[in-house]
């Protein structure tokens, strides 16, 4: 049995601001403990949830120094669904109302966290064979491993993996402050290992120092090697060669299951989807004030209201689409006000045909996944994407732009040989989106049998974490052989 330690800034069930927490919560459970025992180390934020539902065991305490600073840390452990979580307690660093704040504070906070990962292992007398670090907040772990802790016998032979969940966030800050806050030796900075275009850049350091680097789809990995997708670091990713790969995230298939989901109007499975989805559609239409029509194509979108998600394409072509078709649109999202305003304009102008819901609602999101025929994701970029996986599991055909994880998971439908899983378009262009919607309508309205076969096929796909875990296992095996 080999030890793998996840160094990560958030994990379900304790703290979640995005998909990273789902990965950190779900992936360790999908491993066979006889081969790899994965433990997870996160900060014990004051804003952590469910802490009182678990028995926290105090493992020890230590004063940790970071350059000229020194702060107390307490190490706690608890077990969730068979996975050990270590929670690192520092009132000084982790007591804010949210895990993340201003970048200048976060640089110091997560430099400290990364250092504590090693000090906590010492308290626990725990030797990790691999430290698997996630996103910029844990980016200094591979750097510390090869510098400050390289001669520590507890970490002899320890390898590191760094996984990027979103390249937009790199931990960039004024280089002199990064020098001061990380406490790293001057040689690291003399080589420019933590510097990019004159700025300090923690993520760059992780990419250079980690033994393996991964991201959450192979297509996103390939995009990161290009100037368009590399966010200024494309040369570093190209330099990494075969040590940089992509592994698609899984889906919690128990949580997202239309045959058991308590939030949808009627449960259904691959055998009963026709009646089940019809009832979900009619009740959703009624609930949202849309015209009740079981035969109309209902197109849904559940998303952060962010430029990344392609809303400018939708608002650009929506009126042309609505005035030339019978289909209906339902939006659920929260985020940027100007996007919300444009979607509300559409629902005001086309009552009964467009429903805009500006809020965060797990309940409504499930009803949309179950009741719609098509799920829209025309993203500018998408590292992996979860929503298209959920929609396929609910028999709602995704219509996506061919980018990142969307390109990898939604093979385009081919009406001649009946291959593919959904509808897609290549260029970030509103009329390509419109044409693709029209093509989807043609299959939906005129080739009903083909449509139903597509629904059946998508519902049967296996997106479980076990598939991803197998790929990570191969990566771990390769590092330790």
| CA distances for 268 relative to 262, 315, 452, angstroms | 11, 33, 14
Phi, psi of 178 (to 5 degrees): -65, -40
Nearer to ligand ADP, 338 or 419 (CB): 338
Nearer to ligand ADP, 64 or 332 (CB): 332
Closest approach of ligand ADP to the CB of residue 8, in Å? 15
- The Cα 457–Cα 462 span in angstroms is 10
Nearer to ligand ADP, 156 or 168 (CB): 168
State which H helix or E strand residue 323 sits in: helix 311-323
Nearer to ligand ADP, 128 or 333 (CB): 333
Closest approach of ligand ADP to the CB of residue 394, in Å? 11
Nearer to ligand ADP, 330 or 386 (CB): 386
Cis preceding-peptide flag for 13 (omega within 30 of 0): yes
- The Cα 330–Cα 353 span in angstroms is 8
| CA distances for 461 relative to 4, 101, 252, 340, 354, angstroms | 29, 39, 13, 33, 30
State which H helix or E strand residue 94 sits in: helix 91-94
Contacts with ligand ADP by CB under 6 A lie at 18-19, 302-304, 332-334, 360-362, 365, 385-387, 390
Closest approach of ligand ADP to the CB of residue 400, in Å? 11
Structure tokens at 91: 């009132």
State which H helix or E strand residue 116 sits in: helix 103-124
Checking DSSP bridges between strand 374-377 and strand 298-305, what pairing results, if any? parallel
What 3 state SS string does 328-366 have? EEEEEEEECHHHHHHHHHHHHHCCCCEEEEECCCHHHHH
422, 388 contact by CB (below 8 A): yes
- The Cα 20–Cα 22 span in angstroms is 5
Closest approach of ligand ADP to the CB of residue 124, in Å? 32
Closest approach of ligand ADP to the CB of residue 220, in Å? 12
Structure tokens at 436: 């693709």
Closest approach of ligand ADP to the CB of residue 165, in Å? 8
Closest approach of ligand ADP to the CB of residue 172, in Å? 20
Closest approach of ligand ADP to the CB of residue 20, in Å? 8
- Rg of the chain in Å (alpha carbons): 24
Nearer to ligand ADP, 149 or 375 (CB): 375
Nearer to ligand ADP, 194 or 376 (CB): 376
Nearer to ligand ADP, 356 or 365 (CB): 365
Closest approach of ligand ADP to the CB of residue 303, in Å? 5
Nearer to ligand ADP, 80 or 302 (CB): 302
For residue 240, the tally of other CB atoms under 10 A from its CB is: 18
- The Cα 383–Cα 150 span in angstroms is 32
Closest approach of ligand ADP to the CB of residue 225, in Å? 21
- The Cα 121–Cα 99 span in angstroms is 22
Closest approach of ligand ADP to the CB of residue 355, in Å? 13
State which H helix or E strand residue 444 sits in: helix 430-446
Buried b (16+ CB within 10 A) or exposed e, 317-341: bbeebbeebebbbbbbbebeeebbe
Nearer to ligand ADP, 175 or 307 (CB): 307
Nearer to ligand ADP, 77 or 303 (CB): 303
Of 418, 436, 417, which Cα lies nearest the Cα of 426? 436
């Amino acid at each position: 049995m080999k030890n793998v330690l996840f160094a990560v800034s958030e994990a379900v069930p304790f703290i979640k601001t995005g998909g990273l927490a789902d990965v950190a919560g779900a992936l360790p459970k999908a491993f066979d403990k006889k081969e790899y025992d994965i433990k997870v180390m996160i900060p014990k934020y004051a804003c952590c949830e469910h802490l009182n539902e678990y028995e926290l065991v105090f493992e020890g305490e230590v004063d940790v120094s970071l350059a000229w600073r020194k702060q107390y840390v307490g190490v706690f452990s608890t077990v969730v669904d068979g996975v050990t979580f270590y929670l690192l307690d520092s009132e000084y660093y982790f007591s804010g109302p949210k895990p993340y704040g201003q970048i200048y504070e976060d640089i110091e906070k997560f430099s400290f966290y990364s250092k504590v990962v090693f000090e906590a292992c010492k308290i626990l007398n725990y030797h990790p064979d691999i430290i698997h670090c996630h996103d910029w907040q844990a980016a200094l772990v591979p750097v510390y491993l090869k510098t400050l802790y390289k001669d520590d016998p507890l970490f002899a032979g320890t390898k590191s993996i760094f996984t990027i969940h979103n390249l937009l966030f790199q931990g960039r800050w004024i280089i002199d402050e990064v020098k001061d806050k990380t406490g790293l030796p001057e040689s690291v900075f003399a080589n420019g290992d933590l510097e990019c275009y004159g700025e300090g850049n923690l993520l760059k350091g992780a990419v250079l120092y980690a033994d393996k680097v991964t991201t959450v789809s192979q297509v996103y990995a390939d995009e990161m090697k290009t100037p368009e997708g590399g966010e200024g670091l494309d040369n570093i990713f190209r330099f990494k060669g075969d040590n940089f790969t992509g592994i698609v995230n899984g889906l919690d298939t128990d949580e997202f299951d239309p045959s058991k989901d308590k939030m949808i109007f009627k449960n259904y499975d691959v055998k009963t989807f026709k009646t089940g989805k019809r009832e979900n559609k009619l009740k959703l239409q009624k609930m949202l004030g849309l015209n009740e029509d079981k035969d109309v194509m209902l197109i849904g979108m559940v998303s952060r209201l962010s430029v990344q998600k392609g809303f400018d394409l939708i608002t650009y072509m929506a009126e042309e689409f609505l005035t030339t078709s019978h289909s209906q649109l339902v939006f659920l999202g929260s985020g940027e006000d100007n996007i919300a305003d444009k979607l509300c304009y559409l629902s005001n102008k086309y009552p009964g045909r467009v429903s805009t819901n500006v809020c965060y609602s797990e309940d409504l999101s499930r009803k949309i996944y179950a009741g719609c025929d098509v799920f829209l994701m025309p993203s500018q970029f998408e590292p992996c994407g979860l929503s298209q996986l959920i929609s396929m599991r609910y028999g709602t055909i995704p219509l996506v732009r061919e980018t990142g994880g969307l390109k990898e998971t939604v093979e385009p439908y081919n009406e001649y040989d009946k291959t593919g899983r959904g509808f897609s378009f290549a260029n970030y262009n509103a009329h390509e989106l419109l044409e693709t919607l029209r093509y989807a309508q043609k299959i939906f309205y005129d080739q009903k049998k083909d449509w139903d076969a597509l629904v059946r096929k998508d519902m049967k796909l296996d997106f479980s974490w076990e598939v991803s875990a197998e790929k990570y296992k191969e990566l771990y095996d390769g590092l330790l052989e």
